């Protein structure tokens, strides 16, 4: 029953992705050493995940590797290899320095890059905002002139209207 629980609970997937707690990791490792069904299922899951990731992998744009290599000097690459213990000439990985295990990248370009579809959307919004601004100003001045015309016409009608005489008996 415990084997069925491990196969259906998703803990094996979490274990493969490194998302389990230390306690869950110990439980899975203990179960793997005793139960061959769980070990076989774990191997199948690992193969399926690897195939999925390889099938859905997105390759980086061409020239990225060369651009990175041009920006990084050979000494920085040696430092990185020494820090991570991947240098074939290093005798001991315990003598790691306190430097961080990442490479500083200087950015020369200060422009924001936007996907080409968003560029068209931004241009359309900009043009529409200008059109609406012009229309808004047009209708504002038109309504202002109409108000002045209404005031002028009211004044004209008040002047032209005869004053009624009161009849006295």
pLDDT number for residue 145: 95
pLDDT for 97 beyond 60: no
CB 32 within 8 A of CB 38: yes
Average pLDDT over residues 27-34: 88
Which pair of tokens denotes residue 36? Answer: 């061959």
pTM of this prediction exceeds 0.85: no
Identify whether the C-beta of residue 79 lies closer than 8 Å to the C-beta of residue 99: yes
Q: Is it the case that residue 18 has pLDDT exceeding 80?
A: yes
Cβ proximity of 4 and 37 under 8 Å: no
Least Cα distance to 19 among 44, 40, 48, 49 occurs for 49
């Amino acid at each position: 029953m415990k084997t069925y629980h491990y196969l259906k609970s998703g803990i094996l997937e979490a274990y493969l992705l490194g998302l389990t707690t230390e306690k869950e990791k110990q439980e899975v490792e203990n179960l793997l050493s005793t139960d061959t069904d769980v070990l076989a299922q774990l191997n199948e899951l690992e193969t399926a995940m690897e195939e999925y990731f390889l099938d859905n992998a997105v390759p980086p744009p061409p020239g990225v590797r060369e651009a990175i290599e041009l920006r990084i000097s050979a000494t920085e690459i040696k430092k990185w290899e020494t820090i991570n213990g991947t240098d074939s000439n290093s005798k001991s990985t315990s003598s790691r320095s306190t430097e961080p295990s990442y490479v500083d990248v200087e950015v020369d370009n200060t422009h924001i890059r936007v996907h080409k579809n968003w560029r068209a959307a931004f241009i359309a919004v900009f043009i529409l905002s200008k059109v609406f601004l012009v229309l808004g100003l047009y209708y504002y001045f038109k309504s202002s002139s109409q108000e002045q015309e209404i005031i002028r016409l009211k004044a004209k009608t008040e002047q032209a209207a005869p004053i009624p005489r009161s009849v006295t008996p």
